[in-house]
Amino acid sequence: MKVTVKSWTGVATWRWIANDDNCGICRMPFDSCCPDCKLPGDDCPLVWGACSHCFHIHCIVKWLHSQPQQQCPMCRQDWKFNNK
């Protein structure tokens, strides 16, 4: 008997490679989206700071706008976007 695979359609779930499961600002899972968004992933991406903390981009931008100082809400270091 000879078995030939012609095509294989698998099922996978995607996830962000991050050091935490949830966004420290909105508390939602990273793999979900921020409260302002409807669609996860491309439409509500994560960003990393120089401090290596990461958030939904919409969450950190909102946070920075509301703060006098541009600091990471987790470690209070100055926030710099890290183009990892």
Report, in Å, the least distance between residue 38 CB and another protein: 6
Q: What is the dihedral of CA 74, 71, 54, 35, to 10 degrees?
A: 90
SS3 (DSSP) at 39 = coil
Report, in Å, the least distance between residue 47 CB and another protein: 10
Helix (H) or strand (E) holding 61: helix 57-66
Report, in Å, the least distance between residue 79 CB and another protein: 18
Is 27 among the residues that bind another protein (CB under 8 A)?
no
Residue whose CB is less far from another protein, 80 or 84: 84
